[in-house]
Amino acid sequence: MTKSKGTSKIKGKGLMLLNFSVAIYLFATGILGITEKIGEYTEANEIGFAVNSIFQGRGQAPYVLTIILSVVAIAAGVFIFIKLFGVSISNIETLLIILAVTWLVFILMIDIIWPISDDSIKFPSLSWLRSFGSHAMVLAAIIMGTDKFGIK
């Protein structure tokens, strides 16, 4: 079975829209992680609340980890956006792979460790599945943005 040129164009535009959407999501998530009050639950501050829930009472650890994860999210969004428009940056492939691994750690913290450590979260539930699904889509888009593992 051969692919038609029209199908390839649609897939290309779909991938471009996915990468653009994920870049916006990551950038906004990172900004909200930095600007929202750490430890206060809002849907916008998922990073800060989850990190604080896991590392509460451990000094500055929640604050530092929230800042690190937020900066990583911002960087991933920016790099995906830059790559989307074909701007060449040396070592962007390596950076995207590092960001994908970091996002995987984020998924483990937010979607696995946090629900297990917090009795108030029903694990698994529809809310948890929605959150995990969105985080997995972001990971997939970061991976697809690389030449080594994704679509060229």
Rounded to 10 degrees, what is the CA torsion of 142, 64, 33, 88?
Answer: -30
pLDDT at 77: 87
Burial class of residue 69 in the structure, from the number of CB atoms within 10 Å of its CB (0-12 exposed, 13-18 middle, 19+ buried):
buried
pLDDT at 110: 80
pLDDT at 136: 92
Give 75-112 pLDDT, tens digit per residue.
Answer: 888 888 887 887 777 777 788 888 888 889 888 888 88
Using a cut of 0.85, tell me whether the model's pTM lies above it: no
Q: How confident is the model at residue 4 (pLDDT cuts 50, 70, 90)?
A: low
The domain locations on the chain are 10-144
Which percentage of the chain shows pLDDT scores above 90? 2
**What are the residue ranges of helices labelled H in 108-125?**
114-117
**What are the residue ranges of helices labelled H in 36-147?**
46-55, 61-84, 92-107, 114-117, 126-144
pLDDT at 2: 55
Judge if the upstream peptide bond of residue 62 is cis by omega within 30 degrees of 0: no
